[in-house]
Structure 1
Amino acid sequence: MAVTQQLARIPEGYLAACRQAAAASPDGDPRWDPPVCDMLDLDWAPALLKRVGEVAGLGEVPLDALRLATDGDTALELGFLDAHPHAIAHFGGAPTGLDVSQVARVSELLGQIDMPALLATLPADDSDAASLIGQVGSIAGGLRAYLLEHFNALRDFYVDAARRRLHIVLWWD
């Protein structure tokens, strides 16, 4: 099984309930089980999306927003999600998250990124483009289609989270 980036849109009340459950449980079980409709699997696209932004000369503010959208931040207290035996990030670092105000700002900035234009700056040959951004191997359906699909999913995920005033929790699993 491949290690992929996971995101979840979470209301503050849900995080509070998980913190309380972890504190009350003898083994620290937070009862973390976000609804599937509020989860996103970004596969291994985050590093490639950031690299496209770097190579294409995306401005520092939108590039930082893309980094924050895929790396998260430590502003939310998520230690209860990183405790054995119920840690959610089995194969990565500790879970990170963005609070409601960070989600709103990232959503706004992701909406300003013209990913098709960034992808158009890559070499026309897929193998040359893949080499430039650090992609090893081929991607079914093509590199550009893969990156555009994952960027659009990320942007839309943040737009919905901002509209609903939700936090976002990120981890690798």
Structure 2
Amino acid sequence: MALLDRAVSGDPDSDVGFLDHDGVYDGFTDPPRLLEPAAVADIARGLDALDPGALLADLPDSPDEAAAACGFGPLSDGDVRAHLLEHFAAMRQFYLAAALQVQSVVTWVD
């Protein structure tokens, strides 16, 4: 889903060159990206409107199959849905707080 990808990966045309150095960015993944306050607010509204249950509706019932479908290895408690819902809720809260404070967000995968 494009909204979740944007929330995690940022906007590809952003410029945060000051973070483009070996201490932050190793060159193996996408470089750091910036989400301006307007983009943060858009993402916060989008995440608030999403139904997490609907997002997970097509996830296999088997914990092992669900973990594999998500690209995870085996999870110790086997509850992939709970894991995803916990992280979705944290991301939703993070973006809401950032939007309320009119903040930018820098994203990158380390």
Q: Same fold (TM over 0.5)?
A: yes
Q: Percent identity?
A: 38
Structure whose CA Rg is larger: 1
Amino acid at match of 1:102: A
CA deviations on 1:4-31 (whole Å, 9 max, x unpaired) are: xxxxxxxxxxxxxxxxxxxxxxxxxxxx
Q: Is the 8 A contact 2:9 2:109 kept in 1?
A: no
Point out the structure with the larger strand share.
Answer: 1
Amino acid at match of 2:35: L
> Which position in structure 2 is the counterpart of 1:78?
16
How many residues end up aligned between the 2 structures? 108
* The one of 49, 54, 74 aligned to 1:138: 74
> Which position in structure 1 is the counterpart of 2:2?
64
Query: Aligned with 1:172: secondary structure?
Result: coil
Query: Aligned with 1:123: secondary structure?
Result: coil
Q: What CA distance in whole angstroms lies between the structure 1 residues aligned with 2:97 and 2:109?
A: 21
Q: What CA distance in whole angstroms lies between the structure 1 residues aligned with 2:41 and 2:59?
A: 29
Q: What CA distance in whole angstroms lies between the structure 2 residues aligned with 1:118 and 1:168?
A: 24
What TM-score comes out, normalization by structure 2 length?
0.84
Query: Aligned with 2:11: secondary structure?
Result: coil
Return 5+ residue gaps in structure 1 as ranges.
1-62
> Which position in structure 1 is the counterpart of 2:25?
89
* The one of 93, 101, 108 aligned to 1:164: 101
Return 5+ residue gaps in structure 2 as ranges.
none
CA shift, 1:75, in A, is 4.5
Query: More relative contact order in 1 or in 2 (CA 8 Å, sep 6+)?
Result: 2
CA shift, 1:64, in A, is 1.6
Amino acid at match of 1:133: C
CA 128–83 in structure 1, closer or farther in 2 if over 3 Å, else same: closer
What TM-score comes out, normalization by structure 1 length?
0.56
Q: What CA distance in whole angstroms lies between the structure 1 residues aligned with 2:31 and 2:105?
A: 14
Divergent runs of 4+, >3 A: none
Q: What CA distance in whole angstroms lies between the structure 1 residues aligned with 2:54 and 2:31?
A: 34
Q: Is the 8 A contact 2:67 2:75 kept in 1?
A: no
